Amino acid sequence: MIGFGGTSIVGLDIGTSAVRAAVVTGARGSAALQSFGQVPLPVGAVMDGEIQDPGPVSEAVAELWKRVKIKSKKVVIGIANQRVVVRQVDLPFQEEKEFRAALRFQVSDFIPMPVETAEIDFQILDDYVSETGEHMMRVLLVAAATDMVESFISAASAGGVEPVGIDLAAFAVARSVSAAARGDAGLAGAEAVVDIGAGVTNIMVHDNGEPRFVRILLTGGDDATRALAEALDMPLEEAEATKLDLGRGVGAPQAQQALSARVDELVEEIRSSLEYYLSQPESQPFSSLLVTGGGSLTPGLSEGLERSMNLPVRRSAPLADMNISKSGLTEEQVAQVEPVAAVALGLAMGASQR
Ligand SMILES: Nc1ncnc2c1ncn2[C@@H]1O[C@H](COP(=O)(O)OP(=O)(O)OP(=O)(O)O)[C@@H](O)[C@H]1O
Ligand SMILES: [Mg+2]
């Protein structure tokens, strides 16, 4: 089994506010967290889910391995930005091997970037006979700009690790926060999983682990901080502290108002993506809505989402079912990292299934 002798693969999440690494062994009910750590990133190193300044990212990765003492250097990196797209398309049925052989040629019409400059992957979701009697298949395409993917690989490599895979952050999040997405539990209907970060919000809808919809929004908790900074004319650090205070019920009405206004906009952006999925002919109503990510702690956000979707919103607890004794994390540390750990955990869990 993967996980012994330093052969485990590390989930590496390069987010806007921090770089995070996780090692998970075992699967299903017996998953165990071996290590978890994070190192903050300076503002501007990662923006809109892309690496703007590779130097500090590489340094943070090197620092992370020093601090957390992770034996393995093999990493899977999560990606979430505007230069990766996920599309569901219906095509005449083909054997997987044939389809793969002519992939670029067949999918060029569906991908909003030149296929020669993209990394393309796919998953065959289903096959069926159409109304006109044609054997069809439904395919989930993932296309990522090659230069963007390479910028992640080279920044991580310069930090001393060895990238062995790339995964969509949205898939990783669903895997770590939802037993239904992992196939460990059944759900009637679709489930929406929303990771609200600092600058990126990942929205993923799945039906018992089959991805149905992915949308990546360039918005998150930092937008609430910026709105406070502008409204109250204060530096970002102070606005961040004010935001956290508001979460504890402390703050002036003016601050509360500025925050609520931005939170309403955030809720609206997320709602309209979820509504878009629901407007599609083959969509299924949501049986649940799970949120994670530091941005999901923005005061009023999950309550707003609950009201606007008219659905109970649950905060995910990806470490709840995991044995954490090997990780050395205290209960207090677990509570602190749990909201921001989903991507790294899910990347590690996906890698350990390979
Ligand atoms: N207790 C809290 N209350 C309100 N907001 C919080 C809290 N803790 C963290 N945040 C906010 O969460 C955001 C960071 O979330 P997270 O760590 O998930 O993002 P990230 O992974 O670094 O970035 P991204 O995924 O967007 O690239 C910041 O905007 C921060 O202000
Ligand atoms: Mg994140």
Give yes or no: residues 197 and 286 share one domain: yes
| 157 belongs to a structural domain | no
**Nearest ligand to the C-alpha of residue 216?**
1
Give yes or no: residues 219 and 139 share one domain: no
> What is residue 233's predicted lDDT score, i.e. its pLDDT?
97
| 348 belongs to a structural domain | no
- What's the 94 CA to ligand 2 centre distance in angstroms? 36
Query: Exposed, middle or buried by CB within 10 Å (0-12, 13-18, 19+), for 94?
Result: middle
Give yes or no: residues 196 and 294 share one domain: yes
Q: Whose CA is nearest to atom 12 of ligand 1?
A: 294
CATH number, domain with residue 133: 3.30.1490.300
| 327 belongs to a structural domain | no
Would you say the CB of residue 39 lies under 6 angstroms from ligand 1?
no
Least confident of 123-127, 185-189, 296-300, 321-325: 185-189
- What's the 221 CA to ligand 1 centre distance in angstroms? 6
Segment 282-292 shows an average pLDDT of 94
Give yes or no: residues 228 and 304 share one domain: yes
Sign of the alpha-carbon torsion through 42, 46, 52, 57: positive
Give yes or no: residues 205 and 302 share one domain: yes
Give yes or no: residues 242 and 135 share one domain: no
| 208 belongs to a structural domain | yes
| 175 belongs to a structural domain | no
d(C-alpha 242, C-alpha 246), whole Å: 6
Q: Looking at ligand 1, which atom is closest to the CA of residue 49? A: 27
Give yes or no: residues 308 and 192 share one domain: yes
Would you say the CB of residue 17 lies under 6 angstroms from ligand 1?
yes
Phi-psi region of 346 (alpha: psi -120 to 50; beta: other; left: phi over 0): alpha
> What is residue 1's predicted lDDT score, i.e. its pLDDT?
36
Would you say the CB of residue 244 lies under 6 angstroms from ligand 1?
yes
* Domains held by the chain: number: 2
Give yes or no: residues 220 and 293 share one domain: yes
CA-to-CA dists, residue 233 to 41, 155, 199, 220, 228, angstroms: 24, 35, 21, 20, 8
Would you say the CB of residue 294 lies under 6 angstroms from ligand 1?
yes
Helix axis angle, 54-68 to 146-158, nearest 10°: 50
Q: What are phi and psi of 53, to 5 degrees?
A: -135, 100
Q: Looking at ligand 1, which atom is closest to the CA of residue 20? A: 21
Give yes or no: residues 198 and 290 share one domain: yes
**Nearest ligand to the C-alpha of residue 200?**
1
Q: What are phi and psi of 298, to 5 degrees?
A: -55, 125
Q: What is the DSSP string of 264-314?
A: HHHHHHHHHHHHHHHHSTT---EEEEEEESGGGGSTTHHHHHHHHHTS-EE
Least confident of 69-73, 167-171, 182-186, 326-330: 182-186
d(C-alpha 206, C-alpha 133), whole Å: 28
Would you say the CB of residue 297 lies under 6 angstroms from ligand 1?
yes
Question: Under a CB-based contact definition with an 8 Å cutoff, are residues 56 and 45 in contact?
Answer: yes
Give yes or no: residues 207 and 135 share one domain: no
Domain residues for 214? 187-315
At residue 28 the predicted structure's pLDDT band, cuts being 50, 70 and 90, is: low
At residue 282 the predicted structure's pLDDT band, cuts being 50, 70 and 90, is: confident
Q: Looking at ligand 1, which atom is closest to the CA of residue 46? A: 27
pLDDT score of 31 more than 50:
yes
**pLDDT > 90 in the chain, percent:** 89
Q: Looking at ligand 1, which atom is closest to the CA of residue 196? A: 18
Give yes or no: residues 302 and 194 share one domain: yes
- What's the 340 CA to ligand 1 centre distance in angstroms? 7
- What's the 93 CA to ligand 2 centre distance in angstroms? 36
Would you say the CB of residue 300 lies under 6 angstroms from ligand 1?
no
| 41 belongs to a structural domain | no
CATH number, domain with residue 248: 3.30.420.40
- What's the 77 CA to ligand 2 centre distance in angstroms? 12
| 68 belongs to a structural domain | no
pTM (global) more than 0.75: yes
Q: What are phi and psi of 136, to 5 degrees?
A: -120, 165
pLDDT score of 6 more than 60:
no
| 71 belongs to a structural domain | no
Give yes or no: residues 192 and 140 share one domain: no
> What is residue 26's predicted lDDT score, i.e. its pLDDT?
85
At residue 114 the predicted structure's pLDDT band, cuts being 50, 70 and 90, is: very high
> What is residue 93's predicted lDDT score, i.e. its pLDDT?
96
- What's the 335 CA to ligand 1 centre distance in angstroms? 14
Query: Exposed, middle or buried by CB within 10 Å (0-12, 13-18, 19+), for 50?
Result: buried
- What's the 172 CA to ligand 2 centre distance in angstroms? 11
